Amino acid sequence: MRIDVLGVGFDDLTMEEAVAAGMALLGQEGCHYVVTPNPEIVEVCRENPEAMEAVNGASLVLADGIGVVKGAAMLGTPLKGRVPGIEFAGGLMEKMAERGLSLYLLGAKPGVAEQAAEKLTARYPGLRIAGTHDGYFQEDGPVVQAIADSRADALFVCLGAPKQELWMKKNGPATGARLLCGLGGSLDVFAGVVERAPKFWSDHGLEWFYRLCKEPKRIGRMMKLPLFLVHVRREKGKRK
C-alpha cells in the first residue's frame, strides 16, 4: 500500500528495496515507469490533475526529498527514508552493468547526455549506452523512434517535472524500453555540468539550501517548499 502525501502515493521503500524493485520491473514484460517526486513536484501535482495522474500512474513512486519524508511523518504515516532519484539511478546502473543491460539517456541541453554517457560507461563498466538525445526537441515521434531503434532496456528521461512524467506516461510503451525513470537534472550531475551538494548538506537535509545558494534563480520554485509544509499541516488538522 502506498503512503499518501497530499494526494501523491509514495512507495515505502529503502534505497536497496527500491533498486531491487526497479530491477524486478526491468525483468518483466511490458513498460513501467518510475517517478521521484520532491515537495515541489507534489505541489505541482496539486495544481495540475494531469501531472497528478501521471505521477500516481507510475509503477514506483520514490520520495526524492527530505521534505516528503518529513511531510509523511507529520501526517502520522512515516516513510522508511528518502530515496533520491539520482542515487536510485546509480544503484540501478550498477546492477544493470553486472547484467550487461543497455540504457538510453534522454534530456538536458545538447551535448550533456553524451558527456554523461562517457562518464557513466567509465564508472559502470559493463553498462551499455544504447543512445543519447538532448531534451530540447519539438516533436516526440522521431525521438521515440530513435529510442525504439536503439532497443534500449531502460531509459532515463530528464526533462524536468512535470514534463518528464507526462512524457513517460504518453510515450513509454512506444519506446520499447521496459523501464523508464524520470530523473530531473540528473544528467547534468552525471556529466559533471552541475555539482551535487556535498555529503554534509544532504546528511543534514539541507541539499535544497545548498542548491538555492548555488542557483539563486530557483527561489521562485523553492517557495513551493514552505507552501508544501503549510498544506501538510492543514491536512494533519483534517485527519485528526
The residues that touch ligand UDP, with contacts defined as CB under 6 A, are 107-109, 135-136, 158-161, 163, 184-185, 187-188
Nearer to ligand UDP, 11 or 188 (CB): 188
Nearer to ligand UDP, 97 or 177 (CB): 177
C-alpha–C-alpha distance, residues 137 and 114, integer Å: 16
* Contacts for 47 with CB less than 8 Å, ≥ 6 apart: none
Give me the least distance between CB of 86 and ligand UDP, in Å please: 8
Nearer to ligand UDP, 56 or 132 (CB): 132
Give me the least distance between CB of 6 and ligand UDP, in Å please: 18
Give me the least distance between CB of 173 and ligand UDP, in Å please: 21
Which pairs count as long-range contacts for 21-28, CB under 8 Å and 24+ apart, including other chains? 21/60, 22/60, 22/88, 22/91, 22/92, 22/179, 22/181, 23/92, 23/95, 23/96, 25/59, 25/60, 25/178, 25/179, 26/96, 26/101, 26/153, 26/154, 26/178, 26/179, 27/178, 28/178
* Contacts for 217 with CB less than 8 Å, ≥ 6 apart: none
Give me the least distance between CB of 213 and ligand UDP, in Å please: 15
Give me the least distance between CB of 185 and ligand UDP, in Å please: 3
Nearer to ligand UDP, 136 or 209 (CB): 136
In this structure, how many other beta carbons lie within 10 angstroms of the beta carbon of residue 101?
Answer: 22
